[in-house]
Chain A
Amino acid sequence: DAGVIQSPRHEVTEMGQEVTLRCKPISGHDYLFWYRQTMMRGLELLIYFNNNVPIDDSGMPEDRFSAKMPNASFSTLKIQPSEPRDSAVYFCASTDRGGQRSTDTQYFGPGTRLTVL
Chain B
Amino acid sequence: DQQVKQNSPSLSVQEGRISILNCDYTNSMFDYFLWYKKYPAEGPTFLISISSIKDKNEDGRFTVFLNKSAKHLSLHIVPSQPGDSAVYFCAASVDAGGTSYGKLTFGQGTILTVHP
Partner-B contacts on A (CB < 8 A): 4, 31, 33, 35, 39-45, 48, 50, 55-56, 91, 93, 95, 97-99, 101-102, 104-111
Contact = CB atoms under 8 A, between A and B. Distances in A.
A89 to B, nearest CB: 9
B101 to A, nearest CB: 5
A104 B36 CA distance: 12
Interface stretch (B13-21, B64-72, B78-86, B92-100): B92-100
Given A55-B101, A93-B43, A102-B49, 15 more contacts: A31-B101, A42-B89, A42-B106, A43-B89, A45-B104, A45-B106, A48-B101, A56-B103, A95-B101, A98-B99, A104-B93, A108-B36, A108-B45, A111-B41, A111-B42
Contacts, number: 68
A50 B43 contact: no
Contact of B108 (A40, A105, A111): A40
Contacts of A43: 44, 89, 91, 106, 109
25 contacts: A4-B43, A31-B101, A39-B108, A40-B108, A42-B89, A42-B107, A42-B109, A44-B106, A45-B104, A45-B105, A45-B106, A48-B101, A91-B43, A91-B44, A93-B43, A104-B32, A104-B34, A104-B93, A104-B104, A105-B46, A106-B104, A107-B43, A108-B45, A110-B43, A111-B42
A44 B36 CA distance: 14
B106 A48 contact: no
Contacts of B46: 105-107
A101 B101 contact: no
